Amino acid sequence: MINRIIIAGFGGQGIIIAGKILATAFMNEGKEVTFFPSYGAEMRGGTCNCSVVVSDNPIASPIIHNPDTLLLFNKPSMDKFERLCKKDGIIIFNSSLIKEKSKRSDIRSFYINASNIAEESGTIKGTNMAMLGAFAKITGLVKIDSLKESIKENFKSLKEELLKINIDILLKGYEFNFNPS
Q: Please give the model's pTM, rounded to 2 decimal places.
A: 0.94
Tens-digit pLDDT profile for residues 8-49: 998 889 999 999 999 999 999 999 999 999 876 655 566 799
| Helix, strand, or coil (residue 2) | strand
Decide which of 3.40.920.10, 1.10.150.20, 3.40.50.1220, 3.40.1400.10 is the CATH code for 2-175.
Answer: 3.40.920.10
Beta strand pairing status for 32-39 and 108-112? unpaired
The three-class DSSP label of residue 61 is coil
pLDDT recorded at residue 152: 94
- Between CA 26 and CA 20 the distance in angstroms is 10
Distance from C-alpha of 62 to C-alpha of 25, rounded to nearest angstrom: 17
Strand partners, 109: 91
- pLDDT tier at 71, thresholds 50, 70, 90: very high
DSSP string, 84-124: GSPTT-EEEEETTT--SPP--SSSEEEEE-HHHHHHHTT-G
Which of 18-22, 24-28, 68-72, 153-157 has the lowest average pLDDT?
153-157
Give the residues across from 54 on adjacent strands: 3, 33
Identify the pLDDT of residue 122. 86
Structure confidence by residue, pLDDT tens digits, 161-172: 889 999 999 999
Predicted local confidence at residue 115, as pLDDT? 96
